[in-house]
Structure formats: structure tokens, C-alpha cells
């Protein structure tokens, strides 16, 4: 099984680049940029990674992101993630970045994008890893602030492949961003949204019907609503599920209680992703391994999860055919 897990070609569709900031790099960048961190060392920081819920994680995640200042910082961060992709046989990745987290600190809008794009271009050239970039709007901020960010993004239309919605879910429903997503769609961007992570199944309905997203990030709370599960299955709406994230943030008390395989058996287009791997204890292979270890996922099921990600990703049909064949050849 371990060889199979390592060799299975993987496609990642739910990855916050700021969530790949490992403690060692956080300390190195804090030093480089003279940013103070409220922890004595890497071990003290790691010890703080005990999350009661999404908000307790977000508090640390935004604090950590404050060490990212220059284009080179974002390049180094992205290159470190892509090096992990290569080790885990992630052959295609569609990653999120949160520009508002950075512009709020006086970082120019283009700085993160330039660093991320430079690393992605190099990884495609050197290793053949293909990618897309999704700009995420922070839902704890106002729609007006989000619209201002979208207006800044317009000048970079060719470098941004889609628009997403993340951060504190409960109390910040999809309806709050209906105008913003309408505008994003008018500008030609495919849209995705975090929904049904901590928030109720109704947020998934609203992400589909009000925001008209093409994928749901997380979406595991659909399990509470049989009608919604039937719709997601019949329309093959992709769900970008993040197993290690869900157990670390107490969405499920234990991996053995995760419902991803049940959703797979019901015909939903569920996929496996790492979300914020530096904070949640593992990258893509570790997420697949958790399903094999705690849910006894078969090779056939793990292959199906990877094939679902091919279906759900934004590559063209020819590239998808090549990836499907590579996955099916992995026995
Ligand atoms: N930002 C980074 N990770 C997130 C998550 N799991 N949910 C919502 N917002 C996030
Ligand atoms: Zn996420």
C-alpha cells in the first residue's frame, strides 16, 4: 500500500499557499523581515497547533502569514510547496492565495502573485507540474472590501484563473457575497467557495444557487441533507474534501468517522486535498494514507478519488486524458 500511495498520481484542488508555511520557514522569514513572533522557537510554535475549531486555527494562520513580505518570500514559500508536490507525485495543483491578508499590511497587490507565479512557472518547466491560481476573498471582511480586491485583480486577469471564498464560515453566508461573485463571473472567472465545512448544508445550496460556483470546497456537511447529496451526485458537483484538516479542526472527532468514502459510494465527485498542510500534519500522500489507515480505503477507492480530481480540475480535455491514463496505470 505504501508504494501505491507514493506512486499514485495526485491532483490537488484545495490548498492555501499561506497554509504551507512550515514553522522553520516562518522563523527564517521572521528573521529576514524583522517581524516579531510571539513564540520562543519552532517547538513552542508547533505546540500551539492544537485547534478547537476553524477560528482558533485562523487566528494562528493570519498571525503566521505576517512574516510574508516580499516577492522572494512568496516564491520561496511556493517553491517549498512544489518540492513537496514532487515528492508526493502531485502532478497538477490549483492553489489559493489570500491577497487581502497581505494588502491589509501594506504589501502591494501584485507582490504575492508575482512570487507565486514565478515558482509555478519554474516547476512546470523543471518538473512538468501544471497549475492554476485561485484568488480567495476573505468572508469575515465586508463585500465592499472584497469588491475593491476584485477590482485590483482585474488588471491581472491572465494570471488569476478563478475566484474563491474562504475564512470564517459561520455567520458569513454565501448571500453576503452575491454581488461580488456575479461580478467575478461577468469578468469570466470560474468561481468556487468554501461551504459546509463548519457551516450548515444550506450554505452549500446557496453557494451553488446564489454564487453559481463550479466546485464546493469542503462540503462535508452535505451529509446532513439527503436532497442535497442527491443533487451533488446527479450534477457531479466536485467537493474538495480535506481529511486531515477536518479532524484537526474537529469537523470530525476521529478519522474513522470521516464520511468521504460514504459520499464516494453515493456517487458524489469527492476529491482528497491538504488545505493547510503545515498546520494540519500532512501533505497529499499523508491525506490519502489517512483514508487507507483509518477507513480501510481500497486501492480502487483511492484511484477513484484521484480520477475525480481529474474530472474536477481546470485542465483541458487532452491533458485530462493523459492524467487519467497515468492514474489507471497505477496498480
Ligand atoms: N483559510 C485557510 N484554510 C481555511 C479553511 N480550512 N477554511 C476556511 N478558510 C481557510
Ligand atoms: Zn480551505
170-179: per-residue pLDDT in tens? 999 999 999 9
Q: Which residue among 16, 203, 250 has the greatest number of ligand 1 atoms within 8 angstroms of its CB, and so is best to mutate?
A: 16
Choosing from 12, 197, 198, 311, which is the catalytic residue? 197
pLDDT band with cut points at 50, 70 and 90 for residue 49: very high
Ligand nearest to the CA of 58: 1
Residue 55 burial by Cβ neighbours in a 10 Å radius (0-12, 13-18, 19+): middle
Q: What is the DSSP letter of 88?
A: T
Angle between helices 71-87 and 110-127 (to 10 degrees): 30
Please choose, from the candidates 42, 28, 118, 113, the residue with its C-alpha nearest in 3D space to the C-alpha of residue 82.
Answer: 118
Q: How far does residue 134's CA lie from ligand 2's centre (Å)?
A: 12
Contact call for residues 231 and 255 (beta carbons, < 8 A): no
| % of the chain at pLDDT higher than 90 | 100
CATH homologous superfamily, domain 2-22+71-328: Metal-dependent hydrolases (3.20.20.140)
Q: How far does residue 120's CA lie from ligand 2's centre (Å)?
A: 20
Residue 331 confidence (pLDDT) above 90 = no
Mean pLDDT of 264-290: 98
Residue 293 burial by Cβ neighbours in a 10 Å radius (0-12, 13-18, 19+): middle
Q: What is the pTM of this model?
A: 0.99
Task: Kindly report the average pLDDT of the chain as a whole number.
Answer: 98
Place of cell 450554505: 203
Contact call for residues 95 and 131 (beta carbons, < 8 A): yes
Residue 252: CB atoms within 10 A of its CB come to 16
Q: What is the C-alpha to C-alpha distance for residues 77 and 257, in angstroms, rounded to an integer?
A: 33
CB-facing half-sphere around the CA of 29: CA atoms within 13 A = 22
Residue 195 confidence (pLDDT) above 90 = yes
Q: What is the C-alpha to C-alpha distance for residues 265 and 104, in angstroms, rounded to an integer?
A: 43
Q: Which residue among 14, 15, 17, 19 has the greatest number of ligand 1 atoms within 8 angstroms of its CB, and so is best to mutate?
A: 19
Q: What is the pLDDT of residues 58-70, one digit of tens each?
A: 999 999 999 999 9
The pLDDT, as a whole number, for residue 189 is 98
Does any ligand 1 atom lie closer than 6 A to the CB of residue 22?
no
Q: What is the pLDDT of residues 116-152, one digit of tens each?
A: 999 999 999 999 999 999 999 999 999 999 999 999 9
- The residue whose CA is least distant from atom 6 of ligand 1 is 275
197: annotated active-site residue = yes
Amino acid at each position: 500500500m505504501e508504494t501505491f500511495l507514493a506512486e499514485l498520481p495526485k491532483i490537488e484542488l484545495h490548498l492555501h499557499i499561506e497554509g504551507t508555511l512550515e514553522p522553520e520557514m516562518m522563523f527564517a522569514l521572521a528573521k529576514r523581515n524583522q517581524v516579531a513572533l510571539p513564540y520562543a522557537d519552532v517547538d513552542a510554535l508547533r505546540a500551539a497547533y492544537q485547534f478547537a475549531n476553524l477560528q482558533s486555527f485562523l487566528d494562528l494562520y493570519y498571525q503566521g502569514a505576517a512574516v510574508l513580505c516580499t516577492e522572494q518570500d512568496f516564491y520561496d514559500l511556493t517553491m517549498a510547496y512544489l518540492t513537496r508536490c514532487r515528492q508526493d507525485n502531485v502532478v497538477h495543483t490549483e492553489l489559493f492565495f489570500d491577497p487581502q491578508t497581505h494588502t491589509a499590511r501594506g504589501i502591494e497587490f501584485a507582490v504575492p502573485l508575482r512570487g507565486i507565479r514565478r515558482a509555478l512557472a519554474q516547476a512546470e518547466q523543471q518538473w512538468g507540474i501544471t497549475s492554476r491560481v485561485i484568488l480567495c476573498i476573505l468572508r469575515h471582511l465586508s463585500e465592499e472590501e472584497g469588491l475593491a480586491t476584485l477590482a485590483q485583480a482585474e488588471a491581472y486577469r491572465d494570471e488569476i484563473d478563478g475566484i474563491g471564498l474562504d475564512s470564517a464560515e459561520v455567520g458569513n453566508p454565501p448571500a453576503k457575497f452575491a454581488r461580488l461573485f456575479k461580478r467575478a463571473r461577468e469578468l469570466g472567472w470560474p468561481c468556487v467557495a468554501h461551504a459546509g465545512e463548519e457551516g450548515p448544508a444550506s450554505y452549500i445550496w446557496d453557494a451553488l444557487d446564489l454564487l453559481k460556483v463550479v466546485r464546493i470546497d469542503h462540503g462535508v456537511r452535505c451529509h446532513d441533507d439527503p436532497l442535497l447529496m442527491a443533487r451533488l451526485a446527479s450534477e457531479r458537483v466536485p467537493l474538495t474534501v480535506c481529511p486531515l484538516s477536518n479532524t484537526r479542526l474537529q469537523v470530525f472527532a476521529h478519522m474513522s468517522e470521516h464520511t468521504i468514502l460514504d459520499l464516494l459510494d453515493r456517487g458524489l465527485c469527492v476529491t482528497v486535498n491538504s488545505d493547510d498542510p503545515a498546520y494540519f500534519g500532512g501533505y497529499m500522500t499523508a491525506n490519502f494514507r489517512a483514508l487507507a489507515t483509518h477507513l480501510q480505503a481500497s486501492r480502487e477507492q483511492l484511484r477513484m478519488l484521484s480520477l475525480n480530481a481529474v474530472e474536477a480540475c481546470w485542465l483541458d480535455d487532452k491533458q485530462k486524458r493523459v492524467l487519467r491514463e497515468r492514474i489507471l496505470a497505477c496498480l
